[in-house]
Amino acid sequence: MAGMVPDPETDMLGLIDVQPTFMPGGELPVPEGDAVLPVIARLLEGPFRHAFATQDWHPADHLSFASQHPGRAPYDSVAMPYGPQTLWPDHAVQGSANAALHPALPQGRIEMILRKGFRREVDSYSAFFENDHRTPTGLEGWLRARGVRRLFLAGLATDFCVAWSAEDAARLGFGVVVIEDACRGIGLPLPEGGTTLEAARRRLGGMGVAFLRSEAIG
């Protein structure tokens, strides 16, 4: 896939949760999360003419926050009506500075910003559906109306919001490329062994999602 040139008519760059809350110094820091910024900036100022961004946007009492579950700690898992839910530190709280798109992100080619996770009772990792896998965000319709057929995804975190977005996009029939060096993961340990990062990569690879470094795009 070296030398892949995005088609401005059918390819789009998707930026997943590039927010200070997920970077060092934020409430839910992804290791080296800020390292994605210069890579994404190059992509936005170079090969990609069209992009969208997602923005995690939680009310202060969101039920995915460990603070809303007495006796529970961040990274515990609880049963929610839609299935198991990892509990997180309070993060991406609506209106806070750390919930904004990172100020170092060039926004001239970002044509739509999608806010997700604003419903208190359900978390939202994917850019396409809430975690109940039924409630759509509306992104699919917007992309189809634009004639987009393939998505290049970047952002945070590889094994959660990027992976769930990639999985849903593939299920919906889009071609999907994850730009590896424009993402960073959390890598939580799994009870069965391995990490969430390793599991996400295996799952996505099995669905035909491609992994590519940014220098191969141009």
The Cα–Cα gap between 118 and 122 comes to 8
Please name which of 210, 128, 137, 114 lies closest in space to residue 165, comparing C-alpha atoms.
128
Q: How far is CA 53 from CA 74, 85, 138, in A?
A: 26, 24, 13
3 to 47, 138, 209: CA distances (angstroms)? 11, 32, 18
Residue 193: is it exposed, middle or buried by C-beta count within 10 angstroms (0-12/13-18/19+)?
Answer: exposed
**CB 128, CB 141: distance < 8 Å:** no
| Phi, psi values for residue 178, rounded to 5° | -95, 125
Which residues carry out catalysis? 17, 116, 161
Residues 100 and 144: their CA atoms lie apart, in Å, by 27
Strand ranges inside the chain, DSSP E: 11-16, 51-56, 77-80, 83-86, 110-116, 150-156, 175-184, 210-212
Give the three-state DSSP class for 73. coil
